[in-house]
Chain A
Amino acid sequence: MNLKKVNQLVEGKVVAGEEFLNREIKAAYGADLLSDVLAFTESNTLLLTGLVNSQVVRTAEMLDLSGIVVVRGKIETVEDHTLELAEECNITIIATEKTMFESCGILFHHGLKPCGYAN
């Protein structure tokens, strides 16, 4: 699945890194704790999170994550600094009105796997 498809499925809005929507993702992980992300994700993973601060992009940069879906309608609260950093680090951010549970459910239903099951 690529990021474009993810954006369609969660009925999202691309707020950073629009040029990377063709990027393929292998798996997804949902968390609001960044150390959990650092402990459990693989590279080329999609991160679903309720966090909007720039550290979520730093974490994605460190792990070579494919993209970030910000859940629960936080489009307005994604900090400018977060968006700038995402552009600088070539990371796509998709914002959706859907909750974490619903977003994960939709993507899982369409065949996206959790980390550890992708291969």
Chain B
Amino acid sequence: METLKVVWQVEKMDFTRAGEGSSKIKKMLHQFSIRPDIMRRVAIISYEAEVNLVIHSFGGVLQGEVFPDKVVVTAKDKGPGIEDLSKAMKAGFSTAPLEVRELGFGAGMGLPNIKRSADKLDLQSSEEEGTELVATVYLS
């Protein structure tokens, strides 16, 4: 049976497995013969969101879901929340620690990349509730 949804648990600072969820989402999209440019945009969104969960959250869930007209990527974490959302959306702004930067992350392009790749982006964040990112890419 065709899979319509991938739900993937992401652990804090687990860089060895970072990207596995996005890989599963990409493989799911392959089944539906989705246009390569759309698949690529979804891949960028899910990978950046997954890496954000690894670097910045206490752990969370990455989800990719296919609908007849769109693909929706959701990343929901348990906190600690984004302190300054407008700063986080700026290209080049990063709060990633040094050891993470040495791995090639922390360019400050994560959320800007997601925003650029998505048709629609909803981002809610608070210290109490954590962060929820919902990115939509339309199929046509």
Contacts and interface: CB of A to CB of B under 8 A. Distances in A.
A51 B19 contact: no
A39 B104 contact: no
The 5 closest A-B pairs by CB, nearest first: A58-B19, A35-B109, A35-B107, A33-B107, A62-B43
B22 A58 contact: yes
A51 B104 contact: yes
A35 B16 contact: no
B76 interface: no
Interface residues of A, number: 22
B103 A53 contact: yes
Interface in B76-112: 103-110, 112
Given A49-B104, A54-B16, 18 more contacts: A35-B48, A35-B108, A35-B110, A36-B107, A36-B109, A38-B48, A38-B109, A39-B109, A39-B113, A51-B104, A53-B104, A54-B15, A55-B18, A55-B51, A55-B103, A55-B104, A61-B19, A62-B47
Interface residues of B, number: 25
Contacts of B51: 34, 55
Given A58-B19, A61-B23, A33 B40 contact: no
Contacts, number: 73
Interface of B: 15-16, 18-19, 22-23, 26, 36, 40, 43-44, 47-48, 51, 103-110, 112-113, 116
A62 B105 contact: no
